[in-house]
Chain A
Amino acid sequence: EDQVTQSPEALRLQEGESSSLNCSYTVSGLRGLFWYRQDPGKGPEFLFTLYSAGEEKEKERLKATLTKKESFLHITAPKPEDSATYLCAVQAGSSASKIIFGSGTRLSIRP
């Protein structure tokens, strides 16, 4: 069964303290892995798509990487405005029309 697991469930960092969020997946034929940011009471905002192992994408303080079993979202020198829930999702070849979402990591950055 296709599955996406995110860890940790919650992460509190001091401003400027770099860290990484993990997304482990078990799917039949990965077609794409997606990272989203969600602020409270709003819809998820698309960040990155990764298609194959070894691929990396960057946007400001965020960098997403992909291996055959997991993806990391690295946050470098975070600021309080980076506080949000970060969602990972995968699209598998066995169910190409739907994306499977993880439960998210709630990131809190203290000034």
Chain B
Amino acid sequence: EADIYQTPRYLVIGTGKKITLECSQTMGHDKMYWYQQDPGMELHLIHYSYGVNSTEKGDLSSESTVSRIRTEHFPLTLESARPSHTSQYLCASSQQGPYGYTFGSGTRLTVV
């Protein structure tokens, strides 16, 4: 069974706090991605990585940052959370080549 884990599942946090959303996969995939998705809306790519020490910004401008120090780990950090960051954040991974993504269950973030 393909495993990609996101924690926390839900997070409510105050404005101005620094937060890190965790994403780990056990499949050895080189490629990893972060998407942002509001309820009933499209997926928007905010960051991606081709491998260790490789990170790129996606199509949607985001105030978040990512790092890829280990193949299996791709955390996303918000230095100062704002209510506009309230959304669902989805992590995904894939093999090299034309293969579909495997998604995590997501983190539902609410900034109050």
Query: Which A residues lie at the B interface, using CB under 8 A?
Result: 31-32, 34, 36, 40-46, 49, 51, 87, 89, 91, 96-99, 101-104, 106
Known: A36-B100, A99-B100. 15 other contacts (CB 8 A): A31-B97, A32-B98, A36-B103, A40-B39, A41-B88, A42-B105, A43-B103, A44-B103, A46-B101, A87-B43, A89-B100, A89-B101, A99-B101, A103-B42, A104-B42
* Contact call A49/B106, Cβ cutoff below 8 A: no
Contacts of A97 in B (CB 8 A): 31, 48, 50
Query: Which B residues lie at the A interface, using CB under 8 A?
Result: 6, 31, 39-43, 45, 48, 50, 58, 88, 90, 92, 97-106, 108
A-B contact pairs, 28 of them (CB 8 A): A31-B97, A32-B98, A32-B99, A32-B100, A34-B100, A36-B100, A36-B103, A41-B106, A41-B108, A43-B90, A43-B92, A43-B104, A44-B43, A46-B100, A46-B101, A49-B100, A51-B98, A89-B101, A91-B98, A97-B31, A97-B50, A99-B100, A99-B101, A101-B43, A102-B42, A103-B41, A104-B42, A106-B40
* Contact call A49/B98, Cβ cutoff below 8 A: yes
* Contact call A49/B105, Cβ cutoff below 8 A: no
Contacts of A87 in B (CB 8 A): 43
Q: Give A99 to B90 CA distance when docked, in angstroms.
A: 14
Q: Give A34 to B103 CA distance when docked, in angstroms.
A: 13
Minimal beta-carbon separation of A95 from chain B (angstroms):
10
Closest residue of B by beta carbon distance from A48 = B100
Q: Give A102 to B42 CA distance when docked, in angstroms.
A: 7
Closest residue of B by beta carbon distance from A30 = B98
Q: Give A96 to B95 CA distance when docked, in angstroms.
A: 12
Closest residue of A by beta carbon distance from B102 = A46
Contacts of B40 in A (CB 8 A): 106
Contacts of B98 in A (CB 8 A): 31-32, 49, 51, 91, 96
